[in-house]
Amino acid sequence: MKQLYIDFDGVILDTIPLLYEAADKAGVSRTDSNFYSNFDFKTILKEKYVLCDSLNCIQKLIDSNKFDVNILTHCNSIKEGADKVRFIRKHFKDITVIICPKEISKTKMVHTEGAILVDDYSGNLREWESEGGIPVRFSTKLNGKGFKVIDRLDSLIDMF
């Protein structure tokens, strides 16, 4: 069974455009960590923002018995992390959710050697690969940016 880590923002839910829109509306920089630390994530952690049937695809991955499925997500605050865990728990009772402080690389949170990371951000994938992990880019436009690319999480079943 392969270790599989799935990013949250931009893979499970389409939160990034919503966050950028909120930052623009507030008149702050899209990189303002204070803004994100105080943002009410419950307003965007909703089923209507699910990307590419990701919740059903995660269940298919679990049911395939090919992967030990985990969610590995960067968070700007404990509150954001708690809100994401609550969202995942509504859909999956027995899946590990790993909250990674934004300031720390995902590679420092888990054992990467031979493990798969599905992420939409190439920077995380480069770090993952440099630590012996298997990077897979999630992109609705199938733009791999030099990585294996998928636009549905259940595509991993045939890939590995």
Q: 62 near 69, Cβ under 8 Å?
A: yes
Cα–Cα distance between 87 and 27 in angstroms, integer? 28
Average pLDDT, integer, range 18-45: 94
Identify the H or E element spanning 135. strand 134-138
Which CATH number covers residue 99?
3.40.50.1000
Model confidence pLDDT, tens digit, residues 98-142: 999 999 999 999 999 999 999 999 999 999 999 999 999 999 999
- Enclosing domain of residue 128: 2-159
Q: Which of these ranges, 18-22, 31-35, 43-47, has the smallest mean pLDDT?
A: 31-35
Give the per-residue pLDDT at 133. 98
pTM: 0.96
- For the chain, what is the total number of helices (H) and then of strands (E)? 6, 6
Cα–Cα distance between 98 and 71 in angstroms, integer? 6
The tokens for 74 are 């960067």
Distance of CA 142 to the CA centre of its chain: 17
Give the per-residue pLDDT at 40. 93
Structural domains counted in the chain: 1
